[in-house]
Amino acid sequence: MSKKTKTAFVCEQCGADFPRWGGQCTSCGEWNTIKEVRLGNAASDRHDRAAGYAGSISEVKRLSDVNLSQAERVLTDISEFDRVLGGGMVVGSVVLIGGAPGAGKSTLLLQAIANMADRDVGVLYVSGEESLQQIAERAHRLKLPASKILMLAETSVQRICDVMDGIKPQILVVDSIQVMHTQDADSAPGSVSQVRESASYLTQYAKKHQVSIFMVGHVTKDQSLAGPMTLSHIVDTQVMLGSTDDARYRVLRADKNRFGSVGELGFFAMDSTGLKEVKNPSAMFLNRAETPASGSVVTVLWEGTRPLLVEIQALVVDCQYGNPRRLAVGFDQNRLAMLLAVLARHGNIMTAQDEIYANVVGGIKVSETGSDLAIVMSVVSSLKNKLIPHDALFFGEIGLSGEIRPVANGHARLNDAAKHGFKKAVVPKANAPKHKLADLRVYPVSTLSEALDVLDDFD
């Protein structure tokens, strides 16, 4: 009797499955993302399930009886990397690190495992793309201690696990998951089924043998991780390594973390000796001109577990054509349009006939609403050609009725601003500190009109 192979059609973008192939995914709307996936042999699946049921049954526990001991972590000795991971690499966890070619993924991981191997932590670096000679040359160029790092050139996950059974490493690096393959899937390496099954196989091994795994992932043209969407659900942590717009710095962001905060950022500078940590990223993004300029405003963002001072610039010019442009770089363009509407209604400042360009300096992507007040003040400053002092900053969320809403961690933001020498801060009334901060005068405001009055009073 012939064995029947089960197949499915899965969207690479959103992970939705379909009974047959189609040109467009009806779930996410993307075109040409539905790929055929071989799920294996139906008879063997039934046999495996029967064998599993005949074996040991998972123990049922009360939620109150679950052990609450904190997960054991292994530090990489790269503080910015450890911060993004949530305090180090959790034993038995799987971390997927993605980024564009040349971003520094392999360099960062090589530096991290070199530090861990120097502390006698067993590490294994599996390369499926580069030759071992290329990796050795990189380690020599970076002046890393390489005598304790074990290397393996392999693309079969079964053979990788067989090798680990013999040497029992604590840390495994897989570079990259897109070139790995498993004998359980019939498709070619790099396909949806191969990437998914290979990642799942390694993840199960990590959980069973308490091995921490770093997986390197490729990205697509829109800078999202290549492969099936289920890849993000399989791993414990997903981080992305990118560069700022001027390509001088690298930014590591946690998009998913089961053992830490999401949105945490780590900053690095790339030089001839590898990635160097940036201890004070606020100073990096506040490299401003010596003389104040209209349209330039400083705000304090909250990224992960720390504040970050950034500069927001706006340029308002007369419209030369029929339709005024609204261009935002670094934050949502729709939010800029909404804030301009609030400014017109509750601030009596009309910009309908002007072209407005807004930018977050340094290539940072702003996702929180605490920068609303700074964005509006930069537009007003450019429109009125009003200079804002270098020692002044703004933060707060603006509601549709013109109210200034409080933001999270307001006191910590003010403390960080005071450390960097700021003297004036316009903040929501609910974020005003109860006690006066040294050398920092706080202007609490509850409406947009009050904030505009404070701006007019600045010298």
Would you state the pLDDT for residue 221?
65
Q: Which tokens sit at 221?
A: 């043209």
Is residue 301 within 8 A of residue 370, CB to CB? The reply is: yes
Determine what percent of the chain is predicted with pLDDT higher than 90: 60
Determine what percent of the chain is predicted with pLDDT higher than 70: 91
**Dihedral sign for Cα atoms in the order 13, 18, 20, 26:** negative
Q: CB under 8 Å to 132, separation ≥6 — which residues?
A: 151, 153
Phi (first) and psi of residue 421, to 5 degrees: 90, 15
Q: CB under 8 Å to 194, separation ≥6 — which residues?
A: 180, 181, 182, 185, 187, 188
Residue 88 — left, alpha, or beta (φ > 0 → left; ψ -120 to 50 → alpha)?
Answer: left
Q: How far is CA 81 from CA 138, 169, 234, 364, in A?
A: 20, 21, 21, 18
Tell me the one-letter amino acid at 306. Answer: R
Mean of per-residue pLDDT scores for the chain: 87
pLDDT digits (tens, 9 = 90+) for 16-39: 778 888 888 888 888 887 877 766
Phi (first) and psi of residue 28, to 5 degrees: -110, -10
Say whether pLDDT at 276 is over 70: yes
Domains annotated for the chain, with CATH where assigned, are 5-53 (no CATH), 72-278 (3.40.50.300), 284-457 (3.30.230.10)
pLDDT digits (tens, 9 = 90+) for 284-327: 777 777 778 899 999 999 988 889 999 999 999 998 777 899 99
pLDDT digits (tens, 9 = 90+) for 415-457: 999 999 999 999 999 999 988 888 899 999 999 999 999 999 8
Would you state the pLDDT for residue 45?
46
